[in-house]
Amino acid sequence: MNKIIGYLLLSFTISMFACNDEHKLSPSEGDVYGYFVPQGEHDYDDKIVDWKNRYNIFALYKWSPRDLYWSPTKWNEAKEDTDENGYSWITGYYGEQADEKYVGQQLDLIEELFLSFYPDSTLQRCLPLKMLLCKELEQIDGYGERRKLNIYSSFDLLAFNWGSERILSLSSGEKAEMKLDINLTFLLRLKSNDKIPASTEFYSYSNYDTDMTYGNYYERGFVMYDNNDKTNTDWRHYLEAILFTSYDDLTREVEASDESFHGILNDRKDKYGLIRKKYTAIINHFKEYGIDLQKIGDAAIN
């Protein structure tokens, strides 16, 4: 204790000497990097300011490459790499700022398919610092194949696609895929950063130590055949099933050979009732945080 007190006194004394007139602090020269809203004078800027006040998130349609590509471990921009044998490949992410003419429609869609399903308190606690609005958002794999993304999640951001003329022609099917991608990405993010941990009850109903087979995965309480890291993929597959499927489709009778999520809560597939128990556990778990998963799955898409 005496060492701690002595250290604090010494630190205080040094700081007092350091704060004389010869060592006054002065502003750093150069640009100060930060985030500000509103970014313009559009009608939709009022909504962006409202989101900042309600959720403490900066929804940005003007942003720099470092906003999208920086992470604590690496720079995620798509670029060409070459190995020691001269073999080249391109991998990473690519994005462009939203077209300001379509940001209003993009914000409305994000609100409809995502924000409207969560209480303000959850969004304020769980959203990252930045929401980047993009007109192009792609992932490029090691073969150079480009895949359009609805959403991209990184250290301190969620980036959203379709801030372009393309948003005017999105089909109801494409919007349904967006709803799944956005909400699944957000909920898995909350699990990975312990904002909403997984339910212990959910995991108590299945045995994760032995491999499933095509013939027994339903009766063991799994909704998809997947032996890869079952403790993580099982949680993900249940979220996918609920977020993408209405309750009517989850409970209706289908052929046992049907491998879709349809009928997983019906006795035809759920022979021993384990799927129903795990479904109830995950639904009740998220309701403790004010989130109704099935409401998302049931939501009609215009």
- Same domain, residue pair 218 and 127: no
Query: How many Cα atoms occupy the beta-carbon half-sphere of 39 within 13 Å?
Result: 18
Does 189 fall in a domain?
Answer: no
Do residues 164 and 49 share a domain? Answer: yes
Q: Which single residue is written with the structure tokens 């499927």?
A: 245
| Residues 50 and 165 reside in one and the same domain | yes
Short-list 118, 108, 103, CA closest to 55: 118
pLDDT at 83: 65
State whether 208 and 253 are in the same domain: yes
Query: CA dihedral defined by 97, 100, 103, 105, rounded to 10 degrees?
Result: -130
Q: Tens-digit pLDDT profile for the chain (302 aa)? A: 443 334 334 344 434 444 444 445 444 444 445 788 889 899 999 999 999 999 999 999 999 999 999 999 999 999 877 666 666 668 899 999 999 999 999 999 999 999 999 999 999 999 999 999 999 999 998 777 899 999 999 999 999 999 999 999 999 999 999 999 999 999 999 999 999 999 999 999 999 999 999 889 999 999 999 999 898 999 999 999 999 999 999 999 998 789 999 999 999 999 999 999 999 999 999 999 999 999 999 998 87
What is d(CA 221, CA 270) in angstroms, rounded to the nearest whole number?
Answer: 8
Pairing between β-strand 130-140 and β-strand 157-160 as defined by DSSP bridges = parallel
What residues have CB less than 8 Å from 289, skipping those under 6 apart?
Answer: 122, 196
Angle between helices 45-55 and 103-113 (to 10 degrees): 40
Residues near 155 by Cβ (< 8 Å), separated by ≥ 6? Answer: 70, 71, 72, 128
Could you tell me if residue 114 is inside a domain? yes
How many angstroms separate the CA atoms of 118 and 107, rounded? 16
Question: Based on the structure, what is the number of domains in the chain?
Answer: 2
Pair 165, 256 in one domain = no
Residue 276 within a domain: yes
Judgement on whether residues 54 and 135 belong to the same structural domain of the protein: yes
> What pLDDT does residue 145 have?
84
69 and 165 part of one domain: yes
CA 128/CA 68 separation, integer angstroms: 13
| DSSP letter assigned to residue 206 | S
State which H helix or E strand residue 113 sits in.
Answer: helix 103-113
Largest separation between any pair of C-alpha atoms in the chain: 82
179, part of any domain = no
Do 163 and 58 lie in a common domain? yes
Asked whether 218 and 264 are in contact (CB, 8 A), the reply is: yes
Dihedral (CA of 212, 213, 214, 216) sign? negative
For residue 60, give the nearest of 29, 36, 85, 84 by alpha carbon. 36
In this prediction, residue 271 carries a pLDDT of 95
Q: Say how far residue 4 (Cα) sits from the centre of its chain.
A: 43
Phi and psi angles of residue 13, each rounded to the nearest 5 degrees, phi first: -65, -45
Q: Is 280 a member of any domain?
A: yes
Asked whether residue 78 falls in the same domain as residue 150, the answer is yes
3-class SS of residue 200: helix
Does 192 reside within a domain?
Answer: no
121 within a domain of the structure (yes/no): yes
User: In this structure, are 67 and 125 located in the same domain?
Assistant: yes
The whole domain housing 261 covers 200-298
Q: Is residue 156 part of a domain?
A: yes
Cα 103 to Cα 226: distance, rounded to the nearest angstrom: 39
Which of 154, 169, 184 corresponds to the end of one domain? Answer: 169
Residues contacting residue 198 through CB under 8 Å, at least 6 positions apart: 191, 235, 285
The model scores a pTM over 0.75: yes
Q: Are 102 and 217 members of one domain?
A: no
49 and 161 belong to one structural domain: yes
